[in-house]
Structures are given as C-alpha cells and as structure tokens.
Structure 1
Amino acid sequence: MLPTRRTILAGAALLPAALQSRAQEARAQEAGPRTPPAGAASEAGLIRRPIPSSGETLPAIGIGTSRRYEVEPVPDKVAPLREAVERFVALGGTVIDTAPSYGTAEDVLGMILPGALRDKVFLASKVSESGREAGAAQIERSFERLRTPVIDLIAVHNLIDPGNNLATLRELKAKTRIRYVGVTVWRDGQFSDLEALMRREALDAVQVNYAIDNRAAAERILPLAQERGMAVMVNVPFGRDRLFKAVQGRALPPWAEEFDCASWPQFFLKYVLGHPAVTCPIPGMAKAAYVEDNLGAARGRLPDAATRAKMEALIDAL
C-alpha cells in the first residue's frame, strides 16, 4: 500500500530528538528579526515570487485541486475542504488552481470562495476543449461554476488546441475578465511541444511537472521560462506520492535544518522552490494539517545549488 501524507507526518516522530528540538526552536523564533535570504519575504511571512509579465508577487506555495477536491458539492463533503482553504488563506496563501476537467472541483470552490474569501485568492483554472466555440463555452461554464466574474489565470490545459484557446483567452484578458494567460502540461513527453509554444507565444505563465525525482523540466523548460519572462507553476511536486513511498520510515537528514526544513513534504517542496525559475508549486491540500505543513516550505531559508545537488543524491540513492 502506498504511504499517505498521514504516514509521512507520523514519520516525523522518527526525527532525532535534537533535530526536533532545533526545528521547534526555529519555528518559535520565526517572528523575530532576521535578515532574510534572497527570495524570502521574511521569516514570519511566506516567500513570494513575481509574475514576470506584471511584477505582481504570489506566495510561493499554492493549492492544487485535482482529485482531492472532486467531492460531491454538498455541505458535509465540502466542510473539510473549506477548513483547509480558510486555514490556507489565514496563513497567507492565495494561489488555488483548478480545472473543469477536475470533476466537481470548480463547483466545490464555487461553494467555498464567494464573499470576502474570494478577494484574498488568486484563482487559476484551465480550458481543455477543442474548437473556438467549445472552448469559449467551457470557459463561460467555469465562471458560472466558480461563481466569480473574474478568474485570475486561465491556462490552455495540456496544450489542447492552443491556437483557438489562446485567442479566446486573450480576448477575455483584453476585457479584464481574466488577468493572465498560460498553458499547462503534466508529463515529460509534452516538453518538446511546450518548448515550441513558449518560443512562439507570449505567455504570462506555464504549468509543468517537476519534482526532485523528476527533474527533466529543469533541462530546457525552466531556463526558457526565465528567458521568456514567464511564471512557472509546478504540478505533482510530490511525484504523485512516489516520493512519500521512497522515504517512508526514514528520518530527515540532520542537515535539513540548514534550510529550515522540518518534514519530508517541506524537503520536497523546498527543493522545487530552490530553482529560481519556479514561482509556485501547487500540491494537493485537502486538510488543514497538510496546509500548515506545506506552507512551512515557503518560510525561512531555501537550499542553494550545492544543497539541492546533495538532496538529489539522497533521493536518487533510495
């Protein structure tokens, strides 16, 4: 049986007592004054990264809603997800990513977000239909399902009919119904087409799969995003639970405290955030406890290039 986030969090008990104590002390001191490293807003706040096309900054960890938010849109099923989103926003998070192809996820967010909470969220969705009319109709349904007049970012999902869909998205951006335009992929086999599109089109953002055990995006896509001035959202930063399986029952290495890391999920997310091209990983977060743990990756220090290589070697050896 694959390990769950619950088993990984429980595995924190395997940390040496001294490391646990130091991690607790570091968290207790987060509100104290300290000069933050490059890329960090402050110890107390979340690291923020810019959208290059506008200069707007976003907190460096978001919520992805694939699978985990595909529940029946009724109050009792939505309640724990509402709690997770409310905790996320309370801790300074803003980015929530969804898609019409994620089952009921848009409907669920439409129940959670209307009102004051919506104003605090950077909401991203996608379009995945072929043909100008079908794509436009799907986008309109997203506005209805999400119960919002403005969606911050809509991306062409999995490079589906980018010609027609990007044209529609740019029209909506001109009308200020959306604020940013992007494209997404989720597997390495799409990278050559993604690269060609990134070179051909002016995009505000791309979304790509990238994790410590799946680093292909760092070869060409992430450097190209920097070159072209595109924000990068990262999906499946935990490798669809591959990484949790690899480290099950293992303690964090003592040197993880050198970059303010207190759990394996933070280890994986801090690795991704350690790449300067990355704007915002979007792991799934369906419980408030997961929110609290994941957002810890966007606080304090991040690993430098040498430490990231050390992290890679550790995971590759498992």
Structure 2
Amino acid sequence: MPAHFTSPDSFPRSLPMSRATFLRLAAAGAASLVLASPARTADRTPAPAMHTRPIPATGERLPVIGCGTYIGFDVAHNSDEYQRLPGVLQALFDAGGAVIDSSPMYGRAEAVTGKLLAAAGSHGKAFLATKVWTRGRAEGIRQMEESLRRLQVERLDLMQIHNLVDWQTHLATLREWKAAGRVRYLGVTHYTAGAYDALEAVMRAEALDFVQINYSADEREAERRILPLAAERGMAVIINRPFGGGGLLRRLRERPLPAWAADIGATSWAQLLLKFVLSHPAVTCAIPGTSRPEHMADNALAGTGVIPAPSFWTKHPIDAT
C-alpha cells in the first residue's frame, strides 16, 4: 500500500445514521453530530467498519463506497454549495471511504477537489481517480498534467480513459506513466450499455487494472457481459450511476422501504440500492455522487454490515418502475 494512502482501518469513524434521521437532525441544527468523532458522541459507540475489496492487479484493498464529483463538485468557490463540500469529504473519510472520482469534463470538479483536500490536509486519505478525455497524444499528456495540477498531486492513484475516447493512443501513454510511477493504476470507463460491444473488445484485448461502468437495479445489462468479463480478466470494477443516474432514487424515495430491508441493515433507499450493486462479487467500489454531507454519510452506511448474496434479490426484487 502506498505511503500516501492510509489503511481504511485507521480512518476516524462516524456514527451510523439513516438519511431520514440525519435530515431531521440537520433541520434542527444538529447536523454536526454526524461528522463528530466517536469521542464526541453521546454514547461513544464506534461506527461499523466499511467493507473493503481487493484490486485484483495488486491485492490492495479499497473501501467499497466512494464519492463521484460529477455536477456536485462543479461549483464556484465560496458559494453555498462549495461550503457544504468539506463536510462531504469528511463524511467519506470518517466512514472509512477513500475513492474520489473526477474528470476534466466535470468543469471545476478536479480543481475543487484538490483545493478541498489541500485545505484539510487530507490527500493522504484519498484514493484519487480521474480521467483523460481528449484526442491525440500531446493533448492527452497536456490534459493529464493539468489534472495533476488541479488535484494538487504529483502522482495519481488511477487514471482512466473516459468513454474510450482515443483509447489506443492514451493507453500507450498511460503505460509509460505507470512505468515511470506517475500513475498507480490505469483503466477505461463508459456509462451506457450501448458502448458495451466496444468496451468488451477493449477488455478482451488489453491488460487493464480497472474498468468503470454503469450498473444499478434498473440498468442491469452489465451483469450479462461486462461484470463476468472483468472477473475473468482480473480487473477491478468501479460502478458509476448506482442510482440509475438519479432517476431511480427519485422514483423510490417517496415509497416506504420494504420490511425485508431491515434484514440487510438498510435504513434508506440509497443504502438498499447500493447494497444491490455491491452484491455482485465483481464490483470493487461504487461512487454515488453527492454534494451533501448527510447523503454521503448515508451512502457510506451501505458499505457496512450485511452485503447480501446475488440470490437475495431473486427473492426480494426491487420494483424499479
């Protein structure tokens, strides 16, 4: 494990709390309880540990819930939205999380992430992943150098080729960067099942450390091809769109949780949907995006306690309609 990436077991923990409970407390002015260390809480009960899973290429273990920065971190400095973001990262780290995923296509997200980590002295707690999203070797190198500058690091944990754009060119560069120690892992991404033919071809032809794809209770195409192939080829899998791009969670949040949610320790729909994603054994980490500390704390709880077997969902399907 690299010196800058602290073991998840050493991260401070926060008390488990459901999304609904947190929101009620926040409205009452007590939101600070969620981000307090166990020593400051009333009963001093430590939070449950977040599960970790190995990166097949090395065996290094990653916490199973991270944070995506699309939209939520593309905000102006000193805006109201920006003022919430330190709490998002603190909630991630307090829960034992580490993975923060960004991209140059996310506007200000890389620069905001770097600024927040630097201000809190938290670079050592983060597993930083970003992407190259352009064409041509020279432009790709320029863009990756800019990502390093924005994120305020000299080496990245993971660089991914965004949506397979000019992947042959960038993969050659990334192998050079990995050999030189400028990136630790390399991978490719996509977010739509329509790209799975091309993605599958790349996965079969190339040695990759990571693949990032969409997968949720209402976008299950990856189960048939991509997830089994990743397991076969020894690739770690990061899941984007675990809430179906947000539409699924919006549809479900007004419904009561099914009674069987308690059997797997889920106290919110977000936790239930994330536990569904994590049930697949090929999944390494899910990166739901959020700009709210209470949602990050709630999401992180999905990575604790019971992660059911895939067969659980046959008996307990999620109605995504």
Q: TM-score, normalised by structure 1?
A: 0.85
Q: Deviations over 1:220-254 (max 9, x none)?
A: 00000000000000001001222123213211111
**Mapped contact 2:20–2:268 kept (Cα < 8 A):** no
> How far does residue 59 in structure 1 lie from its aligned partner after superposition?
0.4
Q: Indicate which of 226, 232, 235 corresponds to 1:230.
A: 235
User: How far apart are the structure 1 equivalents of 2:135 and 2:316?
Assistant: 41
User: How far apart are the structure 1 equivalents of 2:44 and 2:188?
Assistant: 36
| Residues 1:277 and 2:282 aligned together | yes
User: How far apart are the structure 2 equivalents of 1:112 and 1:9?
Assistant: 24
| Residues 1:87 and 2:91 aligned together | yes
- Stretches of structure 1 lacking an aligned partner (at least 5 in a row): 1-7, 14-27, 33-42
> How far does residue 9 in structure 1 lie from its aligned partner after superposition?
4.4
User: How far apart are the structure 2 equivalents of 1:55 and 1:65?
Assistant: 26
User: How far apart are the structure 1 equivalents of 2:234 and 2:43?
Assistant: 35
- Correspondence 1:125-164 to 2 at 5 A: 125-164=130-169
> How far does residue 64 in structure 1 lie from its aligned partner after superposition?
0.2
- Indicate the percent of aligned positions where both proteins have the same amino acid: 44
| Residues 1:66 and 2:70 aligned together | yes
User: How far apart are the structure 2 equivalents of 1:77 and 1:315?
Assistant: 33
- Correspondence 1:246-261 to 2 at 5 A: 246-261=251-266
- In structure 2, the residue matched to 1:306 is 311
> How far does residue 76 in structure 1 lie from its aligned partner after superposition?
5.7
- In structure 2, the residue matched to 1:113 is 117
User: How far apart are the structure 1 equivalents of 2:197 and 2:44?
Assistant: 42
Residue type of the partner of 2:90?
E
User: How far apart are the structure 2 equivalents of 1:171 and 1:192?
Assistant: 27
- Stretches of structure 2 lacking an aligned partner (at least 5 in a row): 1-17, 24-41
**Mapped contact 1:259–1:303 kept (Cα < 8 A):** yes
2:104 is paired with a residue whose SS is coil
2:72 is paired with a residue whose SS is coil
- In structure 2, the residue matched to 1:100 is 104
**Mapped contact 1:11–1:249 kept (Cα < 8 A):** no
CA-atom RMSD, angstroms? 2.3
1:101 is paired with a residue whose SS is helix
May I ask how many residue pairs the two structures share in their alignment?
Answer: 285
Q: Indicate which of 262, 278, 287 corresponds to 2:292.
A: 287
Moved more, 141-150 or 108-117: 108-117
Moved more, 121-130 or 68-77: 68-77
User: How far apart are the structure 2 equivalents of 1:218 and 1:12?
Assistant: 33
User: How far apart are the structure 1 equivalents of 2:168 and 2:146?
Assistant: 20
Q: Indicate which of 190, 196, 206 corresponds to 2:195.
A: 190
- In structure 2, the residue matched to 1:262 is 267
User: How far apart are the structure 1 equivalents of 2:87 and 2:292?
Assistant: 7
Inter-CA distance 90–238: structure 2 relative to 1 (3 Å threshold):
same
Q: Deviations over 1:5-55 (max 9, x none)?
A: xxx945999xxxxxxxxxxxxxx99969xxxxxxxxxx8210101100000
> How far does residue 285 in structure 1 lie from its aligned partner after superposition?
2.1
1:180 is paired with a residue whose SS is strand
**Mapped contact 1:31–1:44 kept (Cα < 8 A):** no
User: How far apart are the structure 2 equivalents of 1:249 and 1:63?
Assistant: 24
Inter-CA distance 150–249: structure 2 relative to 1 (3 Å threshold):
same
**Mapped contact 1:11–1:248 kept (Cα < 8 A):** no
Moved more, 248-257 or 53-62: 248-257
> How far does residue 181 in structure 1 lie from its aligned partner after superposition?
0.2
Residue type of the partner of 1:73?
H
**Mapped contact 2:186–2:209 kept (Cα < 8 A):** yes
